[in-house]
Amino acid sequence: MDLWPDRPSRRSLLAAALAAGAFPALLRHVLAAEVPRFDLGVASGTPRPDSVVLWTRLTGDDLPDEVPVRWELAHDERFTRLASRGSFIAQASSAHSVHAEAAGLEPARSYWYRFTALGQQSAAGRTRTAPAPDAAVDSLRFAIASCQRWDHGHWAAWRHLATEPLDLVLFLGDYIYEYPLLPSAVRLHRGGWARTLDGYRDRHAQYKSDPALQAAHAACPWLVVWDDHEVENDYAGLQGERLQDGFEAQRAAAYQAWWEHMPMPMSARPRGPDLRIVGRLDWGRLARLHLIDHRQYRDPQACPRPGRGGSNTVRLKDCPALDDPRRSLLGWEQERWLAEGWSLDRPWNLLAQQTLMARFETQDRQGDSLRWTDGWDGYAASRQRLLQTVADRRVPGPVVLSGDVHAHYVADLKADFDDARGEVVATEFCGTSISSRGGAQSRVDAALALNPHLHYGRSDQRGAVSFTLAPQQLQARLLTVDDPTDAASTVRVAAGFRVDARRPGAQRA
Ligand SMILES: [Fe+2]
């Protein structure tokens, strides 16, 4: 498709300028017209049965404080049958981002959308509304993805996912990384540490410049949650990893830039250092999706290194706080919100969240159990409360979707992981990273032997997971990229699993 179908040629504009005898003013205009305005692509998100959020961000250093942007939403790819249209004032205070909400739409429909501003037209994106809450739905096709570290590789996984007929992408965190330029990287981060509003904005803009990511955003609506690197490695609530002063302002800047670059509604706009990403979406009678946040409301990690915040790997017997029931990964309010909101009359409940929920036992040379304190293992009582509620209420089809650890894991979840014969109460699919490097596979192999509830573990694969959900069964395809340093790499299915709606636990497909 022509990206700029309405754009006059530079030569014809110059000729017109000369003919009009108004060269200086018109030359400025002509040169300005050459600045691409939609360089960061388009996106849609937060699909509802009657609405969807349409996103873009205008580019160029010469933008006035306010720029009117028109948007169109059509039933067809050629925009011959418009369903809705409107305008949005992009403001400098929000980095000229657009968060238009197309309302009054029909449920379970595909639409195409595009934007026009400053004489230029954006590429078109495809989006889709959710089914009506009481509609019978045969299937939901979706993918989970996380951890797209720019300087670790290219994003062939996104290029592949853009070609799959997905209803939805669930992005589970680490959309950007805050790290500075590393000279040895596959491709270079622009600038130093992202810690200020300008720094975070520039990092988001750099990531959004990737054509594979733009294609994936333009292909279907996304639901997005974050993890730590959208702000800073291993932060916890209002505590930075370095216990530094001023972290609240840093978090506010990071959340503001994150909201500006995500297809989130205006109503989600952050207030100071707070931004609510927790939410629910019913996909007809088929499934309820729950989106949770384990960064903003958590207690600090247990047993940190001296003088530091953030994660640690500790011996279980040396750190009783790991099991302290007063600590929470989600915060008490969110724990209650989640416990009260499981759907009991749909076959599936999908929990979109950040990190591996399955117990991940590793041992030191003396055979002592080790725990990594940043994940669910660092908040074992919080996990136990969640899974016990799922078991007690007989929550139908609970499937936990995770990212963060840069490895594919497929797991059976239990209220008591120490009981090898204990009841399986939920299933987990932890998707590997789009590009961020994983740890040693030898360590994962050792862990597979110690954790019989893990069916699969591969830290040496980059990719994502693609799912087909039907009333009776969930099918999962674990995707892997042959060469993460090659933007055109082949993407293959590394393994397939299925889950039966009436029986928690993963089975090889
Ligand atoms: Fe990550």
357-368 per-position pLDDT tens digit: 999 999 999 999
Question: 172 C-alpha vs ligand 1 centroid, how far in Å?
Answer: 10
Question: 150 C-alpha vs ligand 1 centroid, how far in Å?
Answer: 11
Question: 147 C-alpha vs ligand 1 centroid, how far in Å?
Answer: 4
198-249: per-residue pLDDT in tens? Answer: 999 999 999 999 999 999 999 999 999 999 999 999 999 999 999 999 999 9
Question: 161 C-alpha vs ligand 1 centroid, how far in Å?
Answer: 19
Looking at the chain, the whole-number percentage of residues with pLDDT higher than 90 is 92
Question: 143 C-alpha vs ligand 1 centroid, how far in Å?
Answer: 17
Residue-level pLDDT at 227: 98
pLDDT at 146 over 50: yes
Question: 324 C-alpha vs ligand 1 centroid, how far in Å?
Answer: 26
Question: 121 C-alpha vs ligand 1 centroid, how far in Å?
Answer: 34
Residue-level pLDDT at 419: 87
Question: 207 C-alpha vs ligand 1 centroid, how far in Å?
Answer: 14
**Lookup: tokens for 363:** 């041992």
Question: 85 C-alpha vs ligand 1 centroid, how far in Å?
Answer: 38
d(CA 458, CA 375): 18
pLDDT at 2 over 80: no
Residue-level pLDDT at 18: 43
Question: 460 C-alpha vs ligand 1 centroid, how far in Å?
Answer: 14
Residue-level pLDDT at 252: 98
Residue-level pLDDT at 21: 47
pLDDT at 29 over 80: no
Question: 435 C-alpha vs ligand 1 centroid, how far in Å?
Answer: 9
The stretch 138-159 carries a mean pLDDT of 98
Confidence of residue 14 (pLDDT cuts 50, 70, 90): very low
pLDDT at 30 over 90: no
66-77: per-residue pLDDT in tens? Answer: 999 999 999 999
238-286: per-residue pLDDT in tens? Answer: 999 999 999 999 999 999 999 999 999 999 999 899 999 999 999 999 9
Domains of the chain: 1-34 (no CATH), 37-128 (2.60.40.380), 141-508 (3.60.21.70)
Question: 335 C-alpha vs ligand 1 centroid, how far in Å?
Answer: 24
Residue-level pLDDT at 183: 86
Question: 383 C-alpha vs ligand 1 centroid, how far in Å?
Answer: 21
pLDDT at 478 over 70: yes
pLDDT at 32 over 90: no
88-136: per-residue pLDDT in tens? Answer: 999 999 999 999 999 999 999 999 999 999 999 999 999 999 999 999 9
Confidence of residue 184 (pLDDT cuts 50, 70, 90): confident
Looking at the chain, the whole-number percentage of residues with pLDDT higher than 70 is 94
Confidence of residue 9 (pLDDT cuts 50, 70, 90): very low
Residue-level pLDDT at 73: 98
pLDDT at 86 over 80: yes
Question: 434 C-alpha vs ligand 1 centroid, how far in Å?
Answer: 9
Residue-level pLDDT at 375: 98
Contact at 8 Å (CB) between 220 and 128?
yes
Confidence of residue 23 (pLDDT cuts 50, 70, 90): very low
Question: 146 C-alpha vs ligand 1 centroid, how far in Å?
Answer: 7
Pairing, β 140-145 against β 463-469: antiparallel
Question: 330 C-alpha vs ligand 1 centroid, how far in Å?
Answer: 19
Residue-level pLDDT at 277: 98
- Bridge partners, 477 (sequence order): 466, 496
Question: 177 C-alpha vs ligand 1 centroid, how far in Å?
Answer: 8
d(CA 475, CA 470): 8
Residue-level pLDDT at 31: 55
b or e along 309-323 (b: 16 or more beta carbons within 10 Å of the residue's beta carbon)?
bbbbebebeebebbe
Question: 148 C-alpha vs ligand 1 centroid, how far in Å?
Answer: 7
Residue 418: which of 351, 369, 372 has the closest Cα? 369
pLDDT at 34 over 90: no
**Lookup: tokens for 271:** 């207030």
pLDDT at 313 over 80: yes
Rounded mean pLDDT of the chain?
Answer: 94
Confidence of residue 409 (pLDDT cuts 50, 70, 90): very high
Residue 222: which of 482, 464, 488, 494 has the closest Cα? 464
Question: 396 C-alpha vs ligand 1 centroid, how far in Å?
Answer: 30
Residue-level pLDDT at 8: 39
d(CA 62, CA 408): 44
Question: 432 C-alpha vs ligand 1 centroid, how far in Å?
Answer: 9
Measured in degrees and rounded to the nearest 5, phi and psi for residue 212 equal: -70, -40
Question: 215 C-alpha vs ligand 1 centroid, how far in Å?
Answer: 21
Residue-level pLDDT at 6: 37
Question: 164 C-alpha vs ligand 1 centroid, how far in Å?
Answer: 24
Contact at 8 Å (CB) between 31 and 103?
no
The stretch 165-190 carries a mean pLDDT of 96
Instruction: Concatenate the DSSP letters of all residues of 178-231 into one string.
Output: -----TTSSSPPSSS---SHHHHHHHHHHHHT-HHHHHHHHHS-EEE---STTT
